[in-house]
């Protein structure tokens, strides 16, 4: 498999170079998408299927949709070569970063104390997937703040109100496509959400897939952008953070520990929080795509 | 029986890879967008379907076959739809160029 890994690593670098140096914006975005998929494959080879799923769904899928949506508004890259000073600066910076990573990898050889600790405490967490146990139980506080950051990003965009070009329907083939894909994404999102308890999956991946299905429906022209009900979507976007905070406070009241779930009921708590997060993440990503505020 | 399925799976996967290689060759060598799309949409879908069929023969499990079937369905659907969308956009662009020289 050494050969396979080397080919993937080389292809990642090639796709990244194409994304950077392609003059045409659409071509650059396409190269970026390919790089996202290759990076997802690399995560899989590194034994991190959870990260691979998230990278494929969010990094390659939804970021790609957002970038393609804005690609036409960014002017073509200028034909002028960069000044040598900028090249030198970029080269020094990337050398420094690579050096730091290499140094960390060489010096910190035994960073592997966490897997043993997590495995030891896994039965108490209520779930069997160690990644979900860390994200939603042992370090749930971090995830709560992450959701707050996602919401803050949406809030900033709602305040700045960038001009979102109108979503033009993509023609008659999109509706049959959305008719098949949207139910499948709902089904897959539910599957990933439930699967997060014992295998790779979870709220972020499920939410991103759900948002993808909704975007397919939006591009079919079946639902007018005006009538999306942005207020309802914004409500859903708040729901995740709200439910998480309420759960944290309720757990504090019940057990005396912030986000320390009552013993034996941890699975139900985690599933409830993750369900709210899935809907909320899907709504947030969809709002990022269609624009969180109407511009008058 | 198992050995037979195993070799059948390998043959199917090699055939699928050949289809994908032909598709890549076509995208590289064919002169214009429409003929590239023509080779890409068909050979791509056929290649992925054959590889999925071969993988199903190798995996020999019902759940794995179900996921592979879902993958093939999604690739076929999205491949055909994106091919159509790209061609449509290309034709729209070409006719707009003719209207306003």
- For residues B30-42, give the mean pLDDT: 88
**pLDDT at position A14, please?**
95
pLDDT, position A109: 65
Contact A181 B77 (CB under 8 A): yes
Task: Please count the residues of chain A.
Answer: 296
Query: Looking at residue A124, what is its pLDDT?
Result: 79
What pLDDT score does A206 carry?
Answer: 92
How far apart CA A75 and CA A23 sit, in angstroms, is 10
Q: What is the DSSP letter of A209?
A: H
A contacts of B85 (beta carbons < 8 Å): 170-171, 173-174
A·B CB contacts under 8 A:
19
DSSP run (H or E) holding A188: helix A174-195
Residue A7 tokens read as: 């080919």
Q: Which residue has the tokens 């160690």?
A: A130
Q: Using CA coordinates, name the residue in chain B closest to A181.
A: B74
Q: Is residue B100's pLDDT more than 60?
A: no
- A contacts of B84 (beta carbons < 8 Å): 171, 173
Alpha carbons B88 and B94: distance in angstroms, whole number: 10
All residues at 6 or more sequence positions from A19 whose CB lies less than 8 Å from its CB, including other chains: A28, A29, A31, A32, A35
pLDDT at B92 over 60: yes
ipTM over cut 0.85: no
Q: What is residue A296's predicted lDDT score, i.e. its pLDDT? A: 45
Cβ neighbours of residue A18 closer than 8 Å, sequence gap 6 or more: A27, A28, A31, A34
Distance from CA of A173 to the nearest CA of B (A): 7
| Closest chain A residue to the Cα of B92, Cα to Cα | A171
Chain B residues at the A interface, defined by Cβ less than 8 Å, are 70, 74, 77-78, 81, 84-85, 88
Q: Identify the DSSP state of A128.
A: S
pLDDT of residue A37: 93
CA-to-CA distance for A246 and A237, rounded, in angstroms? 15
| Residue spans per domain, chain B | 2-99
Instruction: Name the percent of chain B lying above pLDDT 90.
Output: 39
Residue B31 has pLDDT above 70, yes or no: yes
* Chain-chain contact of A177 with B77 (C-beta, under 8 angstroms): yes
Residue A48 makes CB contacts below 8 A (sequence gap 6+) with none
| Per-residue confidence band for B89, with pLDDT thresholds at 50, 70 and 90 | confident
Reply yes or no on whether the pLDDT at B11 is more than 90.
yes
In angstroms, how far is CA A206 from the centroid of its own chain?
A: 10
Mean pLDDT split into 10-residue runs, chain A, 296 residues = 92 93 86 93 91 88 86 72 85 94 79 77 82 84 90 87 72 86 92 87 90 88 68 87 90 81 82 91 88 62
| Residue A49 in contact with partner chain B when CB distance is under 8 A | no
């Amino acid at each position: 498999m050494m050969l396979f890994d080397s080919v993937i690593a080389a292809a990642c670098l090639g796709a990244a170079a194409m994304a950077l140096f392609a003059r045409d914006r659409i071509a650059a975005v396409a190269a970026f998408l390919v790089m996202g998929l290759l990076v997802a494959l690399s995560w899989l080879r590194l034994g991190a299927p959870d990260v691979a799923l998230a990278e494929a769904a969010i990094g390659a899928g939804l970021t790609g949709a957002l970038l393609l949506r804005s690609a036409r508004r960014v002017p073509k890259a200028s034909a002028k070569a960069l000044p040598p000073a900028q090249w030198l600066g970029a080269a020094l910076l990337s050398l420094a970063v690579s050096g730091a990573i290499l140094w960390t990898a060489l010096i910190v050889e035994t960073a592997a104390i966490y897997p043993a600790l997590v495995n030891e405490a896994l039965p108490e967490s209520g779930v069997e997937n160690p990644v979900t146990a860390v994200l939603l139980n042992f370090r749930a506080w971090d995830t709560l703040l992450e959701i707050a950051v996602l919401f803050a990003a949406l809030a900033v965009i709602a305040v700045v109100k960038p001009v979102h070009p109108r979503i033009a329907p993509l023609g008659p083939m999109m509706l049959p496509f959305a008719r098949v894909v949207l139910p499948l994404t709902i089904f897959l999102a539910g599957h990933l959400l439930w699967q997060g308890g014992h295998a790779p999956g979870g709220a972020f991946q499920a939410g991103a897939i759900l948002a993808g299905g909704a975007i397919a429906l939006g591009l079919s022209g079946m639902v007018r952008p005006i009538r999306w009900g942005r207020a309802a979507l914004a409500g859903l976007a708040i729901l995740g953070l709200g439910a998480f905070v309420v759960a944290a406070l309720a757990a504090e009241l019940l057990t005396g520990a912030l986000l320390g779930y009552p013993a034996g009921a941890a699975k139900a708590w985690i599933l409830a929080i993750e369900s709210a997060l899935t809907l909320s993440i899907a709504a947030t990503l969809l709002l990022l795509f269609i624009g969180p505020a109407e511009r008058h | 029986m198992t050995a037979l399925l195993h070799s059948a799976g390998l043959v199917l996967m090699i055939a699928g890879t050949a289809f994908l290689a032909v598709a890549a060759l076509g995208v590289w060598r064919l002169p214009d967008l429409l003929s590239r799309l023509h080779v890409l949409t068909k050979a791509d879908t056929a290649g992925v379907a054959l590889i999925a069929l071969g993988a199903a023969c190798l995996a020999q499990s019902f759940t794995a076959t179900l996921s592979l079937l879902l993958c093939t369905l999604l690739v076929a659907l999205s491949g055909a739809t994106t091919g159509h969308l790209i061609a449509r956009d290309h034709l729209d662009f070409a006719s707009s160029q003719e209207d306003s020289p």
